[in-house]
Structure 1
């Protein structure tokens, strides 16, 4: 198997995971490859136990992909170190808590602790989160260097909702606010009807290693709770950062008033 065919198969596998169940034609359009090439990739992946075709001739991942992905998630030091603090954060805020780690221009959701409320935020584990569109991503960008921010802004800024910040200048202002405040506030930028606050987790090198968020429906995540939840998120992120060996991570002050 050539390098190009391996890369094509991996890309097909990723897009099946993102769009499942997906038909051959739609998959070929999504990956930008001929249908014959995609068909060969799918059959090879099916033979290896990674994909399967259902009764409607659409393709899905098998549980082999889930098992391997779950082992990767559970073997991540960030998740293992963060989990006890995330549980405390979820209990303190009463809302859904997410933990995400970087992968290229996106963050990938590696942990989610759900609220007991029936109406709640929901993203599946493994979901790819655009940085500019999310509370976690904006916090992550704010924790990086100006050069990191400019490199990100040079790429596409596609909208996830009508409230997504897609203007580079507006995103620079949002990042500046995050740096000044200590946490991000993202009303409906990633999902309609959902607002979130986020904070970056730093690694031993002092740079961002991931980000966490507190998310909920806008009927509960209002201006009145943003500060309290933001402080809680930033404090949790600081605790996790210290446990990861980040230098001189200060505890966040309580909100005034």
Structure 2
């Protein structure tokens, strides 16, 4: 295996561990499509340089160390977005009393970079760093609605994998939904990402009008009912406008 291939394999293993942790060798090998021997070498190398740690029990399972978190939080654009948005997210959380998510784009997905939790014991929960499909989430639908027609066409041409039985997977339906979000000013996602969870969202745009992130209000569907959509939707829309003004 060449040096380049070894590096690529190591990063594939690292990313898979991040998604599946704690995870064992056999499951990792199946996920990344590499022989166990290659995955084992990558795991040991990543452990040696401080990115992964094994469990002390058998069978061995692997997790990220805090080094991965430390490096990830230095992403400057995302850090600026998070620091700018945080005071406004706090206001939104106090107003809605539900969970607030801030997500930033990475390819065909968003990455969760901040979460403010609700005091309610029954709540929406996504770990920081979670990767969020655009078509399956309130943050993603809002991001698509703020995107260019070229970006949308490219996205619709790709796979629209279901996350639940409520996920929009038909390209024509998704395009209609995107237009509705544009007209309304906020998205509504009823259990498209997680069963029992409903969210409303809006996109943050830069000075050129390009989306650079999204904010959502998420909660159990028993509390996030249609009667709350307009109030919370307008609140999240106003929040992203305030963030945009400061940026």
Q: Give the TM-score normalised by structure 1.
A: 0.92
1:56-205 alignment runs, 5 A limit: 56-72=59-75, 76-205=79-208
Runs of 4+ in 1 over 2 A off after TM superposition: 66-75
Contact 1:139 1:200 in 2 (8 A): yes
Q: Secondary structure at the match of 2:101?
A: strand
CA distance in 1, matches of 2:53, 2:118: 33
CA distance in 2, matches of 1:129, 1:74: 18
Closer, same or farther: CA 73–191 of 1 in aligned 2, 3 Å: farther
- 1:96-121 residue CA offsets vs partner (Å, 9 max, x unmatched): 10000000111000000111101000
- 1:49-107 residue CA offsets vs partner (Å, 9 max, x unmatched): 11122113111112222222234489611111101110001011111100000001110
Aligned to 1:10: 11
Contact 1:73 1:79 in 2 (8 A): no
Aligned to 1:42: 43
CA distance in 2, matches of 1:227, 1:46: 49
CA distance in 2, matches of 1:75, 1:108: 10
CA distance in 1, matches of 2:121, 2:147: 36
Closer, same or farther: CA 8–172 of 1 in aligned 2, 3 Å: same
> Please, what is the CA RMSD of the aligned residues?
1.4
- What's the CA shift for 1:204? 2.3
Q: Structure 2: give runs of 5+ residues left out of the alignment.
A: none
CA distance in 2, matches of 1:227, 1:178: 12
CA distance in 1, matches of 2:82, 2:188: 23
Q: Secondary structure at the match of 1:199?
A: strand
